Amino acid sequence: MAQDKTTASFIISGDVKVPVTVSIEDILKQKEISIGDVTITNHLGEKKSESHGLKGVLLKDVLLLAEIKNEVPRLLSEYYFVCKAADKYTVVYSWNELYNSPPGDSAFIITEKNGKRIKDMDDSILMLSTKDFKTGRRHVKSLSSIEVKRAQ
């Protein structure tokens, strides 16, 4: 689906103590990591585009800006994050995937791409899982919301 707008913030809501609006400024306060170049592939593994000189912040660090409604640490395994773009494209991460396994170290909100900073990127706020086999599946342009949910 074609993206027709960029986002300057997104909201973290759902099973959190207080919903939090995360701005570009909030993102830029996080530890920035140099990622390098990433090839974006479709569901068949075919190359769709390349992104160069990527930098980003870990999604799991940004998610810590909102506190999950949970008093028992072992129950965190029941939580997941529904990430939506402005065009309603949706991807999901589990709590364990982000905080208890290697994929959590490769799920980013991109702060720089092809020499452009986040405020100037055509697809800000961009979320990308750089180590997925098919990187386009969780390539979310114009992130608008993340809903924290608990599996029932």
CATH of the domain at 22: 3.90.420.10
Q: Which residues are paired to 146 by β-bridges?
A: 12, 83
Q: Is residue 3 part of a domain?
A: no
Look at residue 19 and tell me if it is in a domain.
Answer: yes
> Computed from CA positions of residues 42, 44, 47, 48, in that sequence, does the dihedral angle turn out positive or negative?
negative
Where do we find the tokens 């396994």? 101
DSSP state of 137: G
Domain membership flag for residue 23: yes
- Tally of domains in the chain: 1
Tell me which residue of 137, 62, 45 sits closest to 104, measured CA to CA: 62
Asked whether residue 40 carries a pLDDT value surpassing 80, the answer given is yes
- For residue 1, tell me if it sits in a domain: no
Q: Does residue 2 fall inside a structural domain?
A: no
- Lowest mean pLDDT: which of 2-16, 52-66, 90-104, 124-138? 2-16
Residue 45 has pLDDT above 90, yes or no: no
At residue 4, the pLDDT reads: 55
Instruction: Give the Å distances, CA to CA, from 126 to 73, 78, 129.
Output: 30, 26, 10
pLDDT(144) > 70: yes
For residue 5, pLDDT over 90 is answered with: no
**N-terminal to C-terminal alpha carbon distance within the chain:** 31
Whether the CB-CB separation of 130 and 106 falls below 8 Å is answered with yes
21 in a domain, yes or no?
A: yes
Could you give the percent of the chain with pLDDT greater than 90?
Answer: 78
pTM reported for the whole predicted model: 0.92
Full domain range(s) for residue 72: 9-150
At residue 3, the pLDDT reads 46
The yes-or-no verdict on residue 110 having pLDDT over 50 is yes
Distance CA(90)–CA(100), nearest Å, equals 22
Helix segments in the chain, DSSP class H: 24-28, 59-63, 95-99
Residue at 53 is within a domain: yes
Whether residue 112 lies inside any domain: the answer is: yes
Compute the half-sphere exposure of residue 46: CA atoms within 13 Å on the CB side of its CA: 3
Tokens of 144: 């608008």
